[in-house]
Amino acid sequence: MAESIYSQRTGSIRGFVEDSTTSELLAYCNIFVEGLNIGTTTNDKGFFFIPSLTAFKKYTIRISYIGYQMKIINVNVFEDQITAVDVQLTRSIIELQSVEKIGEKYQLNTSDISLEKIFLRDLEKIPQSVENDLFRSLQHLPGVSFTGDVSARYYVRGGSSDQNLILLNDAPVYSPFHALGLFSAIDPDIINVAEFYKGGFPLQFNGGISSLLRIISKDGNKQEYHGNASASFLSGKLLLEGPIPDGSFIITGRKSYSTEVLKKFLNNDDVPIDFYDLSFKINYSNSNVMQDAKFTLHGFISGDNLTNSNPLKADFKWTNKILGFNYFQWVTDSPIFYEFFIYQSDFTSEVIPKFSSAKSNKNNLTDYTAGGNLTYKFDNRDEFSIGMKFINIKTDLALENSKGALAVIDAEGTNISIFGKFSFLQLEKFGADIGSRINFTRLAVGTSGQISFEPRMNLSYKFIPGIDISASVGIYQQELTTVSDENEVISIFSPWIIIPKYLNPERAAHYIAGLKITPDEMLSFSLEGYYKLISNYTSLNDKKYFESDPDLIAGKGEAYGMEFSTDFSTNNWTASLGYTLGWAFKELNGLRYHPRYDSRHTLSLNFNYNFSDDWSAGLTWNYSSGFPFTQILGYYNKLYVENLGARIYNFIPFTILDDRNTSRLPDYHRLDFNLSKVIYIGDIRLHTELSIVNIYDRKNLFYFDLETGKRINMLPLLVTAVIKIEI
């Protein structure tokens, strides 16, 4: 009788998990309650919460994380109380590569559909063309396509690159590329975790309709001052971190010093590229000032300059600037936590023609955003979240036409939105997320009163232990677009503008279904099918003949396919396979065609092995079927009248093209290898890495020059090296 009474009284456990030597919070640790077969994982802030545990009992909690020693703690639970615990994990002497699934094995997570969690250790295992790069690593994932070795731009499930929402500490980065788009502008050394959603992403993030890449940077070492320096054939980097009173800081900077290696990417052309980036984060938490609260100030700046010594060639420059502040609060002894944020994100881009034939163009974008969200966790494990966001964006675009006339397109608007989501998690085998974002205003001026909804629903069902079924449907909206020609092989100037009021915002409907099979902790299989329908696809009007014709028109998009992946790991080696079968279509002016990034088949094979004495090696093979391109049918001399009165005429060769993207390039495949070694010299850790890209020197076709018809190939055999010193 007494046992029955006590079983009706419950309490909860909450806490943070961090590194014992740096106090860096550890995202996605596995938390398991022994004897109950229940568990959870820490979120991106290293936080976990386990409700509805029978009161007046002592529980044994097991915490595990890749590369760390497992820790077991005992926690007492009392009636109607939340027991707070802070757990510190110690790094393993040998960092095992096997992935433990303890928490996920017992608790459904409805937000994990189409989600890839990426850590710095994952990037270091992939052979790199020059140095570690987050965006280039995405190209190895199922559902992600690319158009060549030259660009780090990626395309997800049939969407264009400007439909990918990229966030750094939840602030958007509008031009996240260095060196003509060859590399990411975000230094991977500052990354704590990256969440990459190929669809079905959470309601609190808006502004993209294809995918979400959410990058959370490290907090910095809270116990000791540390630093590292590294150099590659392209750039040098420096990182500093350490404690401050009641907090920590981290700062990292990178600067290019040689472009010789880039000739391999650009058909041996000498491009005078100069770039830099700087990131910082400052954290503060003091229980005497405000209990269970955390304050964060973060910033990011990057710049690229392409300065040609030849006055007959144009110069280009573009910059990003971000400054943001976050305040996170867990209400003490309450199942409520909330967060407020404010940030400014700026982007500028400019074309300086000098004496070339290029036109003077300039683009500015300023984004001021403030908002917050609150989450309540019920005793039965259900959750309710609500949030609000205010976005004010101003864009300026100055374009010079062929006659030298300057056109200025200015726009400024405010988007006000709220979202609400209920997570049904109380059942052991079934879970659901249901909610919607409501947009009360549009960024385009003169569109007041246009309320729009973005409903979402994610479902998960545990068929039997080790087999999970999931599904997601949702509507996504985007009010910004880039003005660029999709036929350009390398797009240097891609200005952002607010979609004008005569067009509706871009919207996409996602339909996703998935199956995940995990026979044991070393082996997993995943199969996902998707269908994406895009409306109001904003594009340049290539049939504009008169001044009254619109600059932009709306089209349609459609994409569908299937993705399969499998992962196998032991203590010493890992292997993975990813395959995609997909179709992508775009329709403009009644013409339906495949966009340039549509590939029918893509395949990626990865192998990694950890030797003794801190040696490791990796091998990656990528394959994709041919990308669409517009074939050259021939040339003719076209008559141009320069001065009718003086009877001055000129014949210029004109290229005759086939219908858009009706031909296919040959298949693409490439084999890469990397070898790394860690050397300890006293307190100094020396990390060296050698990469061989395109081992068998495959002549992958990039494009045919429209003026000459010359074949341009992608990256040839390339050997690169990186050295990093940590103190």
Q: Which residues pair with 338 in a beta bridge?
A: 329, 374
Task: Name the pLDDT band for 214 (thresholds 50, 70, 90).
Answer: very high
Name residues whose C-beta falls within 8 Å of residue 3's C-beta, 6 or more positions apart in sequence.
none
CATH topology of domain 2-95: Immunoglobulin-like (2.60.40)
**Residue 622: per-residue pLDDT:** 93
d(CA 24, CA 249): 11
Residues of the chain with CATH 2.40.170.20: 215-627+665-726
d(CA 690, CA 673): 8
- Reported as a single tens digit per residue, the pLDDT across 653-700 is 666 667 788 888 899 999 999 898 888 888 888 888 888 989 999 998
From the number of C-beta atoms within 10 Å of its C-beta (0-12, 13-18, 19+), residue 269 rates as: exposed
* Mean pLDDT over each residue of the chain, to the nearest integer: 85
Range 642-651 contact pairs with CB under 8 angstroms and sequence separation of 24 or more: none
Task: Name the pLDDT band for 645 (thresholds 50, 70, 90).
Answer: very low
Contact 580, 633 (CB under 8 A): no
- Reported as a single tens digit per residue, the pLDDT across 309-326 is 888 888 889 999 999 999
Angle at 36 between CA 30 and CA 37, to 5 degrees: 50
Contact 660, 682 (CB under 8 A): no
- Tokens 């891609």 sit at which residue? 494
Calculate the CA dihedral of residues 375, 381, 382, 388 and round it to 10 degrees: 10
Contact 479, 445 (CB under 8 A): no
Q: Which CATH class is domain 115-214?
A: mainly beta
Q: Which residues pair with 524 in a beta bridge?
A: 567
d(CA 491, CA 280): 29
Torsion sign across C-alpha atoms 708, 542, 352, 302? negative
d(CA 352, CA 365): 18
Name residues whose C-beta falls within 8 Å of residue 645's C-beta, 6 or more positions apart in sequence.
none
**Residue 5: per-residue pLDDT:** 44
What integer is the mean pLDDT of 636-650?
Answer: 50
What integer is the mean pLDDT of 697-721?
Answer: 82
Contact 314, 351 (CB under 8 A): yes
- Tokens 């040609």 sit at which residue? 308
Residues of the chain with CATH 2.170.130.10: 115-214
What integer is the mean pLDDT of 624-650?
Answer: 63
Of residues 610, 726, 645, 724, the one with CA closest to residue 231: 724
- Tokens 């596995």 sit at which residue? 30
**Structure-block tokens of residue 674:** 């990397």
Contact 525, 566 (CB under 8 A): yes
**Residue 650: per-residue pLDDT:** 55
Dihedrals phi, psi of 322, to nearest 5 degrees: -135, 135
- Reported as a single tens digit per residue, the pLDDT across 474-506 is 999 999 998 876 666 667 778 899 998 899 999
**Residue 105: per-residue pLDDT:** 41
Residues of the chain with CATH 2.60.40.1120: 2-95
**Residue 3: per-residue pLDDT:** 46
pLDDT at residue 95 is higher than 80: no
Angle at 671 between CA 666 and CA 677, to 5 degrees: 160
pLDDT at residue 242 is higher than 80: yes
Q: Which CATH class is domain 215-627+665-726?
A: mainly beta
- Tokens 């997800």 sit at which residue? 156
DSSP state, residue 696: T
